[in-house]
Amino acid sequence: MRKEDCYFLGKITRTHGLAGNVMMKLDTDQPQLYDKLDAVFVEINGLLVPFFVEKQQWTKEDTKIIFFKNATLASAEQKVGKNVFLPLSTLPELSGNQFYYHEVIGFEVQNENGESCGIIREVNDAVAQHYFILNLEGQEVIVPIIRDWILEVNREQKLIRMQLPEGLIDVFTKPVVKDE
């Protein structure tokens, strides 16, 4: 399995008990979608390695105890701190103005008048206020992702129309620094 064909689900945070079980913290807004995991891919030395889930139970809203098949304490310890992935094909299909961050890379963002604000180069979700990083004619533009501002998500045209406050693009635009 290639990493490009998967999405980040969470991280194994620690072992649980002596039987090879692990604690996994999920990085999702909808943990209930992951009630019945059959298998996960754990990133080990840059490779995604499949592990089959024997059973699982929730400890908190976003944390599970995972019981892997044929696990030992030693194998569990090797998984601690590792990222966990699932294939993109397991994601439920979204409609309307909902979208996954990975799917809108390359989409054009337009304001409500149809003027281009740039092409989504990446999404920063490592901060409290998630935002798009756009490329607009050699300029980097930052646009906060605020649901009320999103008017339309058109997957066929790879387009997101947003109602942006006047002057926002001017305030959050800077030249793109090229690596030399």
pLDDT digits (tens, 9 = 90+) for 90-99: 888 888 899 9
Write down the pLDDT at residue 57: 92
Q: In what order do the strands lie in the sheet with 116-124?
A: 150-154, 159-162, 108-111, 116-124, 131-136, 139-144, 173-175
Domain stop point among 32, 58, 88: 88
Could you count the other beta carbons within 10 Å of the beta carbon of residue 174? 9
The answer to whether residue 180 sits within a structural domain is no
pLDDT of residue 146 exceeding 80? yes
Same-domain pairing of 128 and 171: yes
Residue 128's domain comprises: 101-175
Same-domain pairing of 119 and 164: yes
SS3 124: strand
Question: What token pair was written down for 38?
Answer: 């059959």
Write down the pLDDT at residue 180: 52
pLDDT of residue 4 exceeding 80? yes
Proportion of the chain above pLDDT 70, given as a percent: 96
The answer to whether residue 131 sits within a structural domain is yes
Read off the pLDDT of each residue in 40-68 and give the average, rounded to a whole number: 93
The answer to whether residue 94 sits within a structural domain is no
CB 67 within 8 A of CB 21: yes
Domain stop point among 22, 56, 88: 88
Residue written as token pair 């809203």: 61
Same-domain pairing of 35 and 84: yes
The number of folded domains in the chain is: 2
What backbone phi and psi angles, to 5 degrees, belong to 97? -90, 5
Same-domain pairing of 83 and 106: no
Same-domain pairing of 84 and 106: no
The answer to whether residue 159 sits within a structural domain is yes
Same-domain pairing of 26 and 84: yes
The answer to whether residue 116 sits within a structural domain is yes
Give the pTM. Answer: 0.71
Q: How many Cα neighbours within 13 Å face the side chain of 136? A: 19
Domain stop point among 39, 62, 88: 88
* Structure-derived torsion over alpha carbons of residues 28, 103, 7, 39, reported in degrees to the nearest 10: 90
Q: Which residue has the higher pLDDT, 13 or 92?
A: 13
CB 171 within 8 A of CB 164: no
The answer to whether residue 153 sits within a structural domain is yes
Same-domain pairing of 52 and 110: no
Same-domain pairing of 71 and 106: no
145-152's contacts with Cβ under 8 Å and 24+ in sequence apart are 147/97, 150/97, 151/97, 151/112, 152/97
Instruction: State the DSSP string of 1-16.
Output: --GGGEEEEEEEEEEE
pLDDT digits (tens, 9 = 90+) for 15-27: 999 999 999 999 8
Q: How confident is the model at residue 179 (pLDDT cuts 50, 70, 90)?
A: low
